[in-house]
Amino acid sequence: MNSFTEENYLKAIYKLSLNGVQGVSTNAIADKLATKPSSVTDMIKKLADKKLVSYQKYQGVNLTKKGSDVAVSIIRNHRLWEVFLVEKLNFKWDEVHDLAEELEHINTHKLTERLDEFLGFPKFDPHGDPIPDKDGNIIQHKDVTLSDLIRGEKAVVVGVKEHSKSYLNYLEQLQLVLGAEVEVKDIVEFDATMQILVNNKQVIISNQASKNLIVKKI
Amino acid sequence: MNSFTEENYLKAIYKLSLNGVQGVSTNAIADKLATKPSSVTDMIKKLADKKLVSYQKYQGVNLTKKGSDVAVSIIRNHRLWEVFLVEKLNFKWDEVHDLAEELEHINTHKLTERLDEFLGFPKFDPHGDPIPDKDGNIIQHKDVTLSDLIRGEKAVVVGVKEHSKSYLNYLEQLQLVLGAEVEVKDIVEFDATMQILVNNKQVIISNQASKNLIVKKI
DNA sequence: AATAAAATTTAGATTAATCTAAAAATATAA
DNA sequence: TTATATTTTTAGATTAATCTAAATTTTATT
Ligand SMILES: [Mn+2]
Ligand SMILES: [Mn+2]
Ligand SMILES: [Mn+2]
Ligand SMILES: [Mn+2]
């Protein structure tokens, strides 16, 4: 039906559209997929021919309903497989992304639904990202990050905006895993470096790190 | 490392070598993969460059140790995923082959080993085919088929040589599943059609069907 | 509004995998 | 041992996805 490559483009466009952008730019897609803008233009034309995106030269690209459905279904697969890998095969949360990138393209309705059932219809993946249900409905995070908090506020870690091994590994060392409670003790005015409390331990965390940690105030 | 296509060629050559053939022919590979002999020649050259097969023009092709290792590892993945689909996701034995054809190419050592462990180190897949262990050791069936039996002999079904949906479906209707006991009541001399007993029921089965059913005499 | 900078598209190549048609080598049969 | 048939390889095209370099369009800046 659609090639792996086409599916990856659709997913990238979907994610880049989440910030409310109207007309995702060629360069943004090229960046996200680590490819060249000229390659993106070629692929966009192909996706437009297949009615998966709407596109006018120089004006950026938008997913059609059809394209969005495909993207959401790939994301559903990805996140379900991540749950499987962590819950059933005991992988750590920093090891599953690349495997899920491959598994997500085995896009067979029956497999996805059976997997969902086997896993007990999970609502979130190991990184706190919401899993679309079988009709494609997805609850988006409100995206409050640790960096948004002010001195004295408390919150619970509910997700991450960055999925690199090094970031996830670092968070785990600091015990900043999903469900952890944090309290902001101090913020450096110059560069927004934070001093926080995690499990009664003082931790210093850069703005680079705190702005990628999604939290829920308590 | 190797593309899906290369892996499928290696697997095909491996399976065609099992009958003790020295030098698998271009046409045999083309048949198995439903492609053209000229395409096979091209791919063989590529695999030879990568030292995965040894090849001399017009003399057929053989896997090297390296090529054989890859093939066995793909087969291991394939069969483990089939067990997963049947045992954990409740698929039927006639539904899993095509899905496993895709899953087998996610060839990551750690994933395979974790899956094996999760499944309890199974020795056979849902079709009775042996699963290579993590060192690549594989116990080959002796390949006695129902059609080899004579009148009066009893046997247990232990595998199938043909994996098509229609064949597996048909077997299931006749209750000729793994573990079933059969007794040969009569054989038509003309075309080797068999009258057999399965669970106290009389069943008539063609030679075409009986020669693809692997059994163990009792 | 004119010019410079940035973003995007086009033109032309490349690589992997495939195909058809034709040529070459091997196997079979008279 | 020739002639015929079969198998295998080569030659030349095609399609998908990518790239570099050049041309075009849009955006930002004087
Ligand atoms: Mn991921
Ligand atoms: Mn995730
Ligand atoms: Mn199979
Ligand atoms: Mn099988």
Q: Distance between CA atoms of A39 and B21, rounded to whole angstroms?
A: 46
Tell me the fold of A4-63: Arc Repressor Mutant, subunit A (1.10.10)
Q: Distance between CA atoms of A210 and A117, rounded to whole angstroms?
A: 35
- Name the pTM for this structure: 0.93
Q: Which residue of A has its CA nearest to B118?
A: A89
Q: Give the angle subtended at the CA of A196 by the CAs of A192 and A198, to the nearest 5°.
A: 145
Torsion on CA atoms A141, A147, A150, A151, rounded to nearest 10: 130
Q: Ligand 2 centroid vs B13 CA: distance in angstroms?
A: 38
CATH of span A72-140: 1.10.10.10
Residues of A with CB under 8 A from a CB of B: 85, 88-91, 95, 99, 102-103, 106, 108, 110-111, 114-115, 118
Best of A77, A88, A111, A118 to substitute, by most chain B Cβ atoms within 10 angstroms, is A111
Q: Distance between CA atoms of B43 and B2, rounded to whole angstroms?
A: 12
Residues of chain A with CATH 1.10.10.10: 4-63, 72-140
Residues of chain B with CATH 2.30.30.90: 146-217
Q: Distance between CA atoms of A198 and A177, rounded to whole angstroms?
A: 10
Q: Ligand 4 centroid vs B126 CA: distance in angstroms?
A: 6
Is A163 within 8 Å of A93 (Cβ atoms)?
no
Q: Is the CATH number 3.90.1150.200 carried by domain B146-217?
A: no
**How many Cβ atoms from other residues are within 10 Å of residue A197's Cβ?**
14
What is the residue-level pLDDT of chain A in tens, covering all 218 positions? 799 999 999 999 999 999 888 899 999 999 999 999 999 999 999 999 999 999 999 999 999 999 999 999 999 999 999 999 999 999 999 999 999 999 999 999 999 999 999 999 999 999 999 999 999 999 887 789 999 999 999 999 999 999 999 999 999 999 999 999 999 999 999 999 999 999 889 999 999 999 999 999 99
Q: Ligand 3 centroid vs A33 CA: distance in angstroms?
A: 34
What 8-state DSSP symbol labels residue B146?
G
CA neighbours closer than 13 Å in the CB half-sphere of residue A169: 4
